[in-house]
Amino acid sequence: MATLRDVARRAGVSIATVSYVLNGTRPVSPEVEARVWEAVVALGYRPNRLARGLRRKRTHVLGLIVPDSANPFFAEIARGLEDLSFAHDYSLILCNSDGDPAKEQRYLGVLIEQQVDGIALVSASATPAHLALLQERGIPFVVVDRDLPGLEADCVLADNFQGGYLATRHLLDRGHRRIACITGPSDLTPSADRVRGYRKAMEEAGIEPLEVWVRRGDFRAESGYHAACFLLSLPPSVRPTAIFACNDLMAIGTMRAIGEAGLSIPRDIALVGFDDILLASYVIPPLTTVAQPTYEMGRLAGELLLRRIQARDRPPARHLLSVRLVVRHST
């Protein structure tokens, strides 16, 4: 790789002059500037951005930790954050915690060692005490898709309670009364809030959900499949006629279980998901779901992170984004 010294030697100038031209820190004559740029192009010189960033105490690199990079929901958040980062001349390091708090903590350590300028985090835990490390070190960060009580930090999340309510209200309006709910991990606020919305809608309809109607999953398709198999095995008198799955991947797993049981959607059983991932409109039948502004969540997280990098002592910002029901053929 060509060095700054190589460029200076070819252009017949000092290393300092090359630095002035590349960084625009001091004016030089047009003739000298032309010689420097000719040497840069001829030698294929590329500045060591990391070294330059460390000298300036900025690396122009951000980190993002998600619990499941295979989930299209988190991939869309990453896309929104990456697009915003790229537009502001930042690079992005993506880390997958697999929903494991210990792995998440290890990745935080890696990102700190890499001296990233800021970190966006979809936490694997409802009580991530290790985030205090970021606050103690003054490292800018933003929490996405999680509401973490007691943590004073920038955060971006969707209105999960309203989404759970809209999904269940829609099924009630379609005439269903035996409505089951396949939840995500109960300790995470997105899942807990969606279940609260489900229970609120059922309560308003004068219905007390049976315990067997509420089944816990883990936001992956396989858990939706197994939960639905259990629900479909219930006696006909209590078997649900509709299912609200707390994300689209679990809804897709539920579709498989319904098909294997020889039942038809929505004739025999109605189904609503949550997230509105791209696959939701392509499955058969197309899935009714609650749409989150996922891409916008990623972009907004990036905006908050860049603001925090510029002004580290400003008050934390909390953004709660609206959701909407997208009605398709599964209901």
Using one digit for the tens of pLDDT, what is the confidence trace for 279-330? 999 999 999 999 999 999 999 999 999 999 999 889 999 999 999 999 999 9
Mean pLDDT of the chain, nearest integer: 91
For the chain, what is the domain count? 3
Query: Considering the domain boundaries, does residue 326 fall inside one?
Result: no
Residues 287 and 305 in one domain: no
Residues 299 and 287 in one domain: no
Q: Is the dihedral of CA 82, 84, 86, 92 positive or negative?
A: negative
Q: Are 73 and 246 in contact (CB under 8 A)?
A: no
Residues 192 and 246 in one domain: yes
pLDDT score, position 151: 79
Distance CA 121, CA 138 (A): 16
Residues 207 and 93 in one domain: no
Residues 125 and 142 in one domain: yes
Residue 111 belongs to domain spanning: 61-157+294-319
Residues 210 and 304 in one domain: no
User: pLDDT, tens digit, for every residue of 176-231?
Assistant: 999 999 999 877 889 999 999 999 999 999 999 999 999 999 999 999 999 999 99
Using the structure block, give the residue that is written with the tokens 């279940």. Answer: 195
Q: Which amino acid is at 65?
A: I
Among residues of the chain, what percentage have pLDDT more than 70? 96
Q: Cα-flanking dihedrals φ and ψ of residue 57, to 5°? A: 60, 30
Model confidence at 53: pLDDT above 60: no
Residues 286 and 256 in one domain: yes
pLDDT score, position 152: 83
Query: Considering the domain boundaries, does residue 52 fall inside one?
Result: no
The CATH number of residue 179's host domain is 3.40.50.2300
Model confidence at 236: pLDDT above 80: yes
Query: Considering the domain boundaries, does residue 312 fall inside one?
Result: yes
In this structure, what token pair is assigned to residue 129?
């005490």
Model confidence at 54: pLDDT above 60: no
DSSP three-state, residue 106:
helix
Rg, Å, the chain Cα set? 26
Model confidence at 111: pLDDT above 60: yes
User: pLDDT, tens digit, for every residue of 20-37?
Assistant: 888 777 888 989 988 988
Residues 168 and 286 in one domain: yes
Query: Considering the domain boundaries, does residue 38 fall inside one?
Result: yes
Residues 134 and 182 in one domain: no
Model confidence at 55: pLDDT above 70: no
Residues 266 and 302 in one domain: no
Residues 264 and 232 in one domain: yes
pLDDT score, position 113: 83
The CATH number of residue 34's host domain is 1.10.260.40
Q: Which helix (H) or strand (E) holds 274?
A: strand 270-275
Query: Considering the domain boundaries, does residue 55 fall inside one?
Result: no
Residues 298 and 284 in one domain: no
With CA atoms as reference, report the closest residue to 201 among 167, 230, 235, 249.
Answer: 167
pLDDT score, position 199: 98
202: Cβ contacts below 8 Å, ≥ 6 apart: 168, 172, 179, 208, 209
Query: Considering the domain boundaries, does residue 70 fall inside one?
Result: yes
Q: Are 240 and 213 in contact (CB under 8 A)?
A: yes
Q: How far is CA 322 from CA 189, 270, 296, 326, in A?
A: 16, 24, 11, 13
pLDDT score, position 97: 93
Query: Considering the domain boundaries, does residue 248 fall inside one?
Result: yes
pLDDT score, position 49: 57
User: What mean pLDDT is predicted for residues 62-77?
Assistant: 95
Query: Considering the domain boundaries, does residue 274 fall inside one?
Result: yes
